[in-house]
Amino acid sequence: MPLNLKISEKGLLLIFVPVVFESIFVCVLLFLLNQADRIALAESNKRTISAEMHKISSIFYEQFGLMMAYNASSDKELLRKSEALDYDIENCLSLLRDVALSENFSKVNLDELSRSTEALLKQVRLCRRRAEAHETDSFKSLRSLYDLKKSLSDLLDIFGGISNELGKNNSKSSQDLIRARGLVYACVILALIINITLAVYLAFYFSRNFSKRVQIIISDTKSIAGGEPLSEPLSGNDELAEIDRFIHLTARKLRAVEAERSEILSMVSHDIRSPLTAVKLLVAVALEGIYGQLDKRVYKALSQVDQMIASVVRLADDLLDVQAAGEGALRMRMETVDYAEVCMRSYKVMLPLVENAGLKLERNLEECFGYADSERIGQVLNNLISNAVKFSPANSTICMSLSTDADNVLISIRDSGSGVPESEREAIFDKHYQTETGLKKKRSAGLGLHICRTIVELHKGKIFVKEAAGGGAEFVIQLPTPADIDNETIV
């Protein structure tokens, strides 16, 4: 189930969760490292205790050797060396006490060790004083040495017992240290695996959900542009859901505006076209002289009125065609046609307009037949020639050509104007679109080329514009041959 979070909150969660787990693992790791350090320190202290006891034993043995040598040689230097070794014993004993106390060493063993060492040290000093006081009494000296050796043996027994106990503890400590280190390694590996797995899972989960929702928004945006139904609104309260809700709201408003605009256009077009048709008929009758001979100025004025009425009627027809195309109600009356005849009919209709603009209209027509609505194809040609007149320089030529290739009938209208920029060659067929050049020449409703494309596409063909040889624009209508289409009415 997707989390009902905003994108910023999901980002914080993506960072926060791994950090929390990592913090927990770091705390556990520090605890284990502390345990391992304590075990290692305890083992080091036990080794220190053993080393100091061994050192004390060695010094006492050296003391015993010096006393034996003194009895044999009476060399005072040997006594001075023996006295110097007393300080070494005291230093070793002091260090041993400090280490034992920090290690929580057995107080009984420590007291016994201290008493035995101090007692033996006193006995060494006593033996040394006796040796100095009874230099000639070798029996007493030997007796003192014998007592010293016996006390040294007792101290060594104590040291041996303590060493055995430390050895057992060292074995246990080593095992504890190995176990602690194993736990540390296991904790590090486990933390690494869990953090990587968690981070990857959260990143994959959020990115997949995020990507899916973005794709839905992109699809809805394209659907608005294409007038297609939108997908279901996104759930949640994050930023993407808010954008999607705004897109759906915009789509609803656009549909409402489009419906209202279509209704207004339909109403206005019908309301305008009907009276204008009647007015045009009356003007045509007047121009024919039915109501009597007209003055030249009146005739010229009525001709201009007739042209303006025809322009408004064409605009109304265009509006009605656009509305019908949008509703899927623009029907083609398909029949077998002679394309050369269709082109010639448009040529004759548009020739006066071309000549009045000071232009020439040439034709190059091959004989070819097809399956089409001749009236609608004528409408397309008239519209393209009208556009060519609008954008052609004075005294230039507009060329109409008709040809065929292996699969298509090709009709082109070529002018010598400024041409169409490559960046606008697709957009000029959109509804209400006008090029910068068109805006400078003459503002229009921008419906003509859109209707042309609609009619051509209903014939299962296509229309496009390219740069004409020598400059200007060349509009090409590409229609399928009869073998490529069904002989049925195309709606």
- Tens-digit pLDDT profile for residues 180-227: 677 777 777 877 787 778 777 777 766 667 777 778 888 888 777 666
Q: How confident is the model at residue 439 (pLDDT cuts 50, 70, 90)?
A: very low
Other CB atoms closer than 10 Å to residue 441's CB: what's the count? 15
**pLDDT score for 476:** 93
User: Which range has highest mean pLDDT (13-17, 101-105, 143-147, 476-480)?
Assistant: 476-480
Domains, the chain: 7-205 (1.20.120.1730), 249-325 (1.10.287), 331-484 (3.30.565.10)
Reduced to 3 states, what is the DSSP secondary structure of residue 24? helix
Kindly state the average pLDDT of the residues 138-153: 68
Q: Which residue would you say has higher pLDDT here, 465 or 53?
A: 465
pLDDT at 188: 76
Q: Is 145 in a helix, a strand, or coil? A: helix
Higher pLDDT residue, 94 or 240? 94
Is it the case that residue 285 has pLDDT exceeding 50?
yes
Beta carbons of 181 and 47 less than 8 angstroms apart: no
Q: What is the pLDDT of residue 172?
A: 60
Work out whether strand 397-404 and strand 360-365 pair parallel, antiparallel, or are unpaired: parallel
Q: What is the pTM of this model?
A: 0.48
CB environment 258-276: b (16+ within 10 A), e (fewer): eeeeeeebeeebeeebeeb
Q: CB atoms < 10 A from the CB of 401, how many?
A: 17
| Lowest mean pLDDT segment, chosen from 105-109, 215-219, 252-256 | 105-109
Share of the chain above pLDDT 70, in %: 75
Residues 6+ positions from 472 with CB-CB distance below 8 Å: 392, 414, 415, 416, 417, 418, 419
Per-residue pLDDT at 94: 82
| pLDDT tens-digit series, residues 161-182 | 776 766 666 556 567 667 767 7
- Alpha carbon dihedral 226, 232, 233, 234, in 10-degree steps, equals -110
Name the nearest CA neighbour of 483 among 382, 404, 400.
Answer: 404
The pLDDT of 389-415, averaged and rounded, is 89
- 488 pLDDT band, cuts 50/70/90, is very low
- Identify the residue with better confidence: 458 or 96: 458
Lowest mean pLDDT among 102-106, 261-265, 348-352, 371-375: 102-106
Can you give the pLDDT at residue 113?
74
- According to the per-residue pLDDT averaged within each range, which of 152-161, 204-213, 311-320, 454-463 is highest? 454-463
Task: Indicate whether 136 pLDDT > 50.
Answer: no
Compute φ and ψ for 412, nearest 5 degrees.
-130, 150
Q: Does the CA dihedral 351-355-359-362 come out positive or negative? A: positive
